[in-house]
A and B are shown apart, each in its own frame.
Chain A
């Protein structure tokens, strides 16, 4: 088969078809980059490892923050809540923006059209457009509303006691994100990565009814809008989503990440149940093998993922969340190498 570009590979897999080889891309923590290519930027690493895509998130590259407490590494995010920085490069919300309906009445949304928000995207487009998939993070409406806007507890409480509040929040945040998506697509985004956790290890965070009532409608709007521009979407959610996977797929998403193995999601089972409907993105464990396994264990696990889910295409082999700061650099390298070793189509694995 003709050698494909990274972009072609990713787009082909997202159509559930077979590229020349199993595609791979990842967001990689600075600490790991430092261990692989000291002094290099993420973009340099993407080129060095010949990753098929480059992915970044809105939280880190297009939201504004102001410093609140330098020593404690606390900042206020653009929505109005407080975030803190930990071992990871991305900020973690801990105090929500909205505490009461009154806060919401007077709320002024940040402006999604500000030019600076797209600076990084423009740089990436300039360097990689047409060659590697430019995968732009869009925090989904449930996660944004829950983590940054109302806080977990406030959000869950309102789902039961004050559903209208959730509807209002959803509508507000959707208006921002749709505009953000439009701007990103016009500037060259190839794929949208809709991140936001819907599940925990045992089961989804909310019941099927609540997922249907509050979570999937705004996701579907994001997906339909992106599709109206011909841009595919990958939905990311950790956790056990067996009880609601059909609802997620019904929104029309093109890819599903990461098929969380720690939550008992088996990628072979996922392939059998819905591998023809959606591209599977996952699921080499960044809880176990990538953190504490040997390189050989990582190689074997990567091979297993490809064996279970690679047949006929429709697989982007990735980690089970991200290459976070606890991943051993050598193990990540072993994973990339194994994808190249075992991921050539036609697969010769059984």
Chain B
């Protein structure tokens, strides 16, 4: 019998090989992919997030845990997709125009994926028009805007304006984040939510779609 707690621990330790082997064994033992995610990967990632916030873990530990999750997800994704919709929903993310900081965004992506989101990454220096085009083409529940520079923070506001103009604002929830951003600023520019780091981004995203 595969113990999903071992899978959680493989994620916490960043043990890529173990995460792969345990996920494979769990699938072979007939466990549903959704359960492997919910009881294996997600609790593991939650612990990683806690350790990061408590100052035990830093970026290297986060990256290798992310690797372990990515390995497991590769096996799980086909099964997760069979049900049609992704487990949590579809998330579009990018760093706003003029800004190329992406470390933080990439960590948010890892956390979202590990929590069952299908994530589309537009990369860095993404213009409002590019965000709009992607929103109109895909069916995303949430759009995440990353912004690390105060001088380009207005481009997050511009992106929201552009979504409104294009009649797309009601189609998606908008989340913003990045070191200089605050919940007050998020509210001011008309975003639906703000999150201060990767773990809370996953939490807030779940709340936004009523799946927390």
Chain A partners chain B: yes
The interface stretch among B20-28, B61-69, B132-140 is B61-69
Kindly count the residue-residue contacts between A and B in the assembled complex, taking CB atoms under 8 Å apart. Answer: 65
Taking a contact as CB atoms under 8 Å apart, the answer to whether A161 and B59 are in contact is no
Which range holds the interface residue count of chain B?
Answer: 20 to 34
Taking a contact as CB atoms under 8 Å apart, the answer to whether A156 and B60 are in contact is yes
Q: How far is the CA of A210 from the CA of B55 in the complex (A)?
A: 13
Taking a contact as CB atoms under 8 Å apart, the answer to whether B58 and A326 are in contact is no
Q: Given A87-B98, A205-B59, A206-B59, is A153 in contact with B106 using a C-beta cutoff of 8 Å?
A: yes
Nearest CB of B to A96, in Å: 13
Nearest CB of A to B188, in Å: 14
Which A residues from 41 to 84 make CB contacts under 8 A with B?
84
Taking a contact as CB atoms under 8 Å apart, the answer to whether A206 and B58 are in contact is yes
The interface stretch among A11-19, A104-112, A286-294 is A286-294
Tell me if A99 is interfacial: C-beta within 8 Å of chain B: no
Nearest CB of B to A248, in Å: 16
Q: How far is the CA of A287 from the CA of B181 in the complex (A)?
A: 11
Q: Mark B131-168, 1 if CB is under 8 A from A, else 0.
A: 00000000000000000011110000000000000000
Nearest CB of B to A209, in Å: 10
Q: How far is the CA of A94 from the CA of B149 in the complex (A)?
A: 18
Tell me if B32 is interfacial: C-beta within 8 Å of chain A: no
Q: Given A86-B100, A262-B179, is A204 in contact with B58 using a C-beta cutoff of 8 Å?
A: yes
Taking a contact as CB atoms under 8 Å apart, the answer to whether B58 and A287 are in contact is no
- Chain B, residue nearest A155 (CB): B60
Tell me if A92 is interfacial: C-beta within 8 Å of chain B: yes
Q: Taking each of B59, B98, B103, B125, which has the highest tally of chain A beta carbons within 10 Å of its own beta carbon? A: B59
Which A residues from 183 to 229 make CB contacts under 8 A with B?
200-207, 210
Tell me if A5 is interfacial: C-beta within 8 Å of chain B: no
Taking a contact as CB atoms under 8 Å apart, the answer to whether B150 and A291 are in contact is yes
Q: Given A326-B149, A326-B150, is A205 in contact with B58 using a C-beta cutoff of 8 Å?
A: yes
Q: How far is the CA of A207 from the CA of B100 in the complex (A)?
A: 25
Q: How far is the CA of A204 from the CA of B150 in the complex (A)?
A: 21
B residues in contact with A204, CB < 8 Å: 58
Taking a contact as CB atoms under 8 Å apart, the answer to whether B150 and A153 are in contact is no
Taking a contact as CB atoms closer than 8 A, the residue among B58, B100, B150 that contacts A292 in the complex is: B150
Nearest CB of B to A262, in Å: 6
- Chain B, residue nearest A202 (CB): B197
A residues in contact with B125, CB < 8 Å: 86
Taking a contact as CB atoms under 8 Å apart, the answer to whether A203 and B58 are in contact is yes
Which A residues from 307 to 338 make CB contacts under 8 A with B?
324-326
Tell me if B183 is interfacial: C-beta within 8 Å of chain A: no
Q: How far is the CA of A159 from the CA of B57 in the complex (A)?
A: 13
Nearest CB of A to B52, in Å: 9
Taking a contact as CB atoms under 8 Å apart, the answer to whether A210 and B100 are in contact is no
Q: How far is the CA of A324 from the CA of B148 in the complex (A)?
A: 14
Nearest CB of B to A110, in Å: 24
Q: Given A86-B100, A287-B180, is A326 in contact with B60 using a C-beta cutoff of 8 Å?
A: no
Tell me if B116 is interfacial: C-beta within 8 Å of chain A: no
Taking a contact as CB atoms under 8 Å apart, the answer to whether B14 and A326 are in contact is no
- 10 A-B pairs with CB atoms under 8 Å apart are A94-B100, A152-B59, A152-B103, A201-B179, A206-B59, A207-B58, A243-B55, A262-B180, A287-B149, A291-B151
Other A-B pairs, 16, CB within 8 Å; known A200-B103, A206-B58: A86-B100, A87-B98, A92-B100, A94-B100, A153-B106, A157-B64, A160-B14, A160-B61, A203-B55, A206-B60, A207-B61, A262-B179, A291-B151, A325-B151, A326-B150, A326-B151
Show the binding face of A for B, using Cβ within 8 Å.
84, 86-87, 92, 94, 152-153, 156-157, 159-161, 200-207, 210, 243, 262, 287-288, 291-292, 324-326
Show the binding face of B for A, using Cβ within 8 Å.
14, 55, 57-64, 67, 98, 100, 103-104, 106, 124-125, 149-152, 179-180, 197
